[in-house]
Homo-oligomer: A and B are copies of this chain.
Amino acid sequence: MFEKGYVDGGYVRVPGEELFSFIVRVLLKLGVPEEHAKIVADNLLMADLRGIESHGVQRLKRYVDGILSGGININPRIEILREGPSYALIDGDEGLGQVVGQRAMSLAIEKAKDSGIGVVAVRNSNHYGIAGYYALMAAREGMIGISMTNSRPLVAPTGGVERFLGTNPIALAAPTKDKPFLLDMATSVVPIGKLEVYRRKNKPIPEGWAIDAGGNLTRDVEAVFNEGALLPLGGLGELFGGHKGYGLSLMVDILSGILSGGTWSRHVKNTNERKSEVDHFFMAINIEAFTPLEEFKERMTKMIDEIKSSKKHPDFERIWIHGEKGFLTQETRLKIGIPIYKKVLKELDEIADKIGVDRIGGV
């Protein structure tokens, strides 16, 4: 069944192209246009290749549910509501987040090619996968790419206990002489996906990631899922800068939802609900407008080399640069396949059976 894969522990290794074609055939069967299905597949596959499984193929179920429930519009009329040479406002018409996002970032890049800068704010979209996907689109064109999105409320503001903020990620990519620099971070201490991993393994989480419903730091992952909340980057209170993560999360809400005429995380819903109301913000900076691209890349590479050759901390194996781990994982996974947990595989098989397409592996 898995010609290029093998079974190992709790997971199975699946070649990237098989995951890709599986996602495409599921979405096609649901009526998603082929071009759109390929964009979603490319985005989910990148997450799985780079080791961000929470945003990979295991998201597919939620997208399928969203399409079946009508929460996701598979034939959206993505509309440019306003635009100038350096900006645009887009209404995503509740389309698949990846389709809306890819369109919006392409427009930002186009505008930056012509005018140096492209800023695109988007409202009425859906979960768009990994933020870094869009930032990398710009880096491939010799630009700095920035991508942000609001997301459903999971994080308590400093001084509060309610889930108010999204994990609202920020991504920035920039070209170097080698692989691009890629910062792609949730503005919470950890993304919710990390808690899901601990839950699956039935392990206590480190103290400092999340609080229970009463606001107490907790190691009990169920207490977090049961009316608790994640903490903003910097942790509980202000002592270690929790108000900064809280502020960065609001920054994302302001640039994506408030600027676009959309909403803010408090009112963002799950992808499988009607009108999830996710909003995005994209920006492309045409480096050549400011400085010769080759010199920019040289400076990037010099800075990175300097960091990596600076004195190492005795407790750490090495100094990593942002994006580096993902590219290494990608190299490996392109060769030996992507580990898919059996539980996830079972879920994907169920999707295949339910809608009537071949399972992964072609059966």
Residues on A lying within 8 angstroms of B by beta carbon are: 82, 84-87, 89, 115-117, 119, 121, 144, 156-162, 164, 172, 174, 181, 183, 185, 189-190, 206, 208-209, 214-215, 233-235, 237, 239-241, 243-248, 250-251, 253-255, 257-261, 264, 266, 285, 287, 289-291, 295-296, 299-300, 303, 306-307, 310-320, 322
Give the distance in Å from the alpha carbon of A300 to the alpha carbon of B295 in the complex.
Answer: 40
Knowing A144-B255, A248-B183 are in contact, say whether A290-B261 is a contact too (CB < 8 A).
Answer: yes
CB distance from A54 to the nearest CB of B (A): 16
Contact indicator B261/A306 (Cβ below 8 Å) = no
- Pick 29 A–B contacts, CB within 8 A, sort by A: A82-B289, A85-B115, A86-B87, A87-B115, A87-B117, A87-B289, A117-B117, A117-B119, A144-B259, A159-B313, A159-B316, A160-B311, A160-B316, A160-B319, A161-B313, A172-B247, A181-B254, A185-B243, A185-B244, A189-B241, A206-B240, A215-B313, A233-B233, A235-B240, A240-B240, A246-B322, A253-B303, A259-B285, A259-B291
Name the CB-closest residue of B to A247. B183
Cβ of A267 to closest chain B Cβ, rounded Å: 9
Contact A208 B162 (CB under 8 A): no
Does B259 lie within 8 Å of A159, measured CB to CB?
no
- Closest residue of chain B to A211 (Cβ to Cβ) is B313
Beyond A254-B172, A322-B247, is A189–B240 a contact (Cβ under 8 Å)?
yes
Q: Is the CB of A320 within 8 A of B240?
A: no
- Considering the chains assembled together, what is the distance between the CA atoms of A299 and B265 in angstroms? 12
Report the minimal beta-carbon distance from A294 to chain B, rounded to whole angstroms: 12
The answer for the CA separation of A244 and B246 in the assembled complex, in Å, is 14
Contact assessment for A159 and B312 in the assembled complex, using a CB-CB cutoff below 8 Å: yes
A105 to chain B, nearest CB (A): 16
Cβ distance A112 to chain B, nearest Cβ, rounded Å: 9
The CA-CA distance from A324 to B258 in the complex, in Å, is: 19
A85-B115, A161-B313 known, 4 other contacts, Cβ within 8 Å: A159-B312, A183-B244, A233-B244, A247-B322
In the assembly, what is the distance between CA of A253 and CA of B176, in Å? 14
Are B82 and A290 closer than 8 Å at their CB atoms?
Answer: yes
In the A-B complex, the 4 residue pairs with the closest CB atoms: A86-B86, A183-B247, A159-B316, A159-B319
Partner of A290, one of B183, B243, B259, B264: B259
Contacts of A253 in B (CB 8 A): 303
